[in-house]
Structure 1
Amino acid sequence: MQTHIQTGMRTYPMNSQPSSPAKRKTRSLTFELVEQLSAEIQKGTLISGQKLPTEAAIMARFGVSRTVVREAISKLQAGGLVATKHGIGTFVLVQTDTPAFRINPSQLSTLHDVVALLELRISVETEAAALAAVRRNEGNLRVMQEAMLAFSSAIEAGRDAIAADFQFHHEVARATQNQHFADMMNSLGAQSIPRTRLETTRTLDADRLAYLRRIHQEHESILNAITAQDAESARAAMRTHLSNSRDRHKKGLSSHH
C-alpha cells in the first residue's frame, strides 16, 4: 500500500496529549490541501493521467509540511482521485461522469459510519472468502501468509499493522479470481480497517495487544480454511472475524449514548 493516513499504534508519553493543537492544525491543513487538489482535478486543471508535482513542489506552492502533503495524497488515493506508482510518482486517475463507488474519509468519521461499513464488508467479504477457498492459487496463499507474518511482527514490535491487515483482506478478494471483489477492496482502501479512524492514538496496552493477537488468530482461521479449500469454513471464519469487529464497535456506539 501507499502512504497511510493514520499510523495505527502510536505510543505517547504519559504527559502528552494526542490531540494537540499542532496535530489539529496539521489535520485542518491536510483537509484544505485535499480540497484544493480535488477541485483542480474536478475542474480539469489537473487532467487524467497527469503526474502530480513532486512533494517538494507542492510544499513550496501551498506552504505546508511534507507530512501534510503525504497525508493529503493518502486521502486523495482513498478517494480514488490519484494512484501512486512506486518509484515513478503519483498520477491523476480517470474521472468519469458517473461517479465510481467509493467511500471518502469523511464518511468514516463516526462509530456509526464504521459499523455501517463493516456491515457492507461482512456481506461482500464473507462470500469472497468462500470463493477464494475454491479458486485460490499458491501465489494467493503465499501473499496471505506474508501479510499474516507482517501483521504478527508489527503488533509484537508495537508498530502499525494496518497495511498488513488490509493486505490480507485484499488478497482474499484477489483470490476469488473475480476482479470485482478486488476492485471493491481497492475502492475501500486501508481506511476500511476500523482502527485507522478510531483508535490511532491509543497506546499499546495489554488489552489492545490481546485484541490484535485475537485478530491474528481469526486471520489464521480464515487462511487455514482457504488453504484447505473448505468454502463453508472460510465463509464462517470471515463472518466471525468481521462480525466480532462490528459487535465491538457497536458496543462503543452504545456506550456513547
Structure 2
Amino acid sequence: MPPTLSGALVATLRRRIVEGDIAPGEKLPSEAALAVEHQVSRTVVREAIARLNLEGLVHTRRGSGSYALAPPAGDGEDVPVARSLEDRLGLVDFRLGVETQAAALAAERRSDAHLDALAVRLRDLDGAQGHPATAMQHDFAFHRLVAEAAQNRYLLDALDRLGPQMIAMPRGRLDRATGPGSGSDDGAPARFAAVVQEHRAILDALADRDALAAAAAMRVHLAGSRRRLLAEAGGD
C-alpha cells in the first residue's frame, strides 16, 4: 500500500532531522513553504507536523512555528527516546542518580585540563542565549566533561548513549528562538541565567575538589531542570 501524502512528508522530514540536515533547535520551514516545496496542501503539512510532534521530533509553539528536537542517540532501538513530559521527568530522575555521583567523583579525580575545558564550555553556554541548538550542544558537552573527569567509563558511556536528548532544553528554551518583539517568553532570559549559574556552581565545586559540594550542586541543577519542565508544562 503506497504511503499517504502526509506519511511521505513525515518520512522526509524525519530523515532530515535524524540526519542533522535540520539541527536540534532549528526552525522548520513555514507551512506555506513546505506545501510549495513538496507540492502538497497545507492540510497535509499540518498533519505531518502533528505526527512529528507526537514522535517527539518536533515542538510547535503557537504563533512562532515548529522546531526540531534532538533525535534519539544511536539507532533508536537500544536508547528510549524522551518524548512525553513523563519521559522527560523520568530522564531527570535517572540523571540525578548518575550525574550526582559523577560530579562527586569528578571533584576528586579531575585534572586542571578538565577544569579548563569545563570553563570554556561554560563560557560558550553563557554566550549561546538566543541560540537554542548551540546552547543544547554546549550544555551536553559540559555534562559529558564532568562524566569524563569522573574517570569511570560506565558513567561516560551512560551519557554518550543518551546523547544531547538528555538535556531538558528544547521545548522551553525554544521560546528564545522567537527573538525580541515576536511574542517570546519574557521570563526566558532569567531562566537561562539560572541555568548558567547552576553550571557555574558545579564548576566551582570541582575546582575546590569538594565532592559533597559538587554532588549537591549537580542535584540542585537537575532539580531546577525538573522544576522548569513542570513550569513549562503548566504554562502551555
Q: Quick check: TM above 0.5?
A: yes
Q: Give the number of aligned pairs.
A: 186
Q: Which residue of 2 aligns with 1:103?
A: 80
C-alpha contact (below 8 Å) 1:140/1:171 kept by paired residues: yes
Unaligned segments of structure 2, at least 5 residues: 1-18, 35-44, 58-67, 180-184
1:208 is aligned to 2:180: no
- C-alpha change, 1:132 and 1:19, in structure 2 (3 Å) is farther
Note the C-alpha offset of 1:195. Answer: 1.6
C-alpha contact (below 8 Å) 2:73/2:165 kept by paired residues: no
1:187 is aligned to 2:170: no
Alignment of 1:49-198 (within 5 A): 75=71, 78-81=72-75, 100=78, 102-104=79-81, 108-155=82-129, 158-160=130-132, 161-197=135-171
Q: % of aligned pairs identical? A: 34
Structure with the bigger RCO (C-alpha within 8 Å, sep 6+) is: 1
Distance in 1 (CA, whole Å) between partners of 2:29 and 2:222 is 28
Q: Per-residue displacement from partner, 1:38-94 (whole Å, max 9, x unpaired)? A: xxxxxxxxxxxxxxxxxxxxxxxxxxxxxxxxx89x73xx33139xxxxxxxxxxxx
C-alpha contact (below 8 Å) 1:109/1:197 kept by paired residues: no
Q: Which residue of 2 aligns with 1:236?
A: 216
Q: Which residue of 2 aligns with 1:221?
A: 201
Distance in 1 (CA, whole Å) between partners of 2:201 and 2:153 is 24
- C-alpha change, 1:197 and 1:252, in structure 2 (3 Å) is closer
Give the TM-score of the pair, scaled to structure 1: 0.62
SS state at 1:170 partner: helix
CA RMSD, 1 decimal: 3.4
Unaligned segments of structure 1, at least 5 residues: 11-16, 35-70, 83-98
Structure 1 stretches of 4+ with a deviation exceeding 6 A read 26-29
Distance in 2 (CA, whole Å) between partners of 1:231 and 1:162 is 26
- C-alpha change, 1:150 and 1:247, in structure 2 (3 Å) is same
C-alpha contact (below 8 Å) 1:112/1:253 kept by paired residues: no
SS state at 2:25 partner: coil
Note the C-alpha offset of 1:190. Answer: 0.6
Note the C-alpha offset of 1:206. Answer: 3.5
- C-alpha change, 1:174 and 1:27, in structure 2 (3 Å) is farther
Distance in 1 (CA, whole Å) between partners of 2:31 and 2:24 is 16
Q: Per-residue displacement from partner, 1:209-252 (whole Å, max 9, x unpaired)? A: 11011110110000000011000000000000001111222344
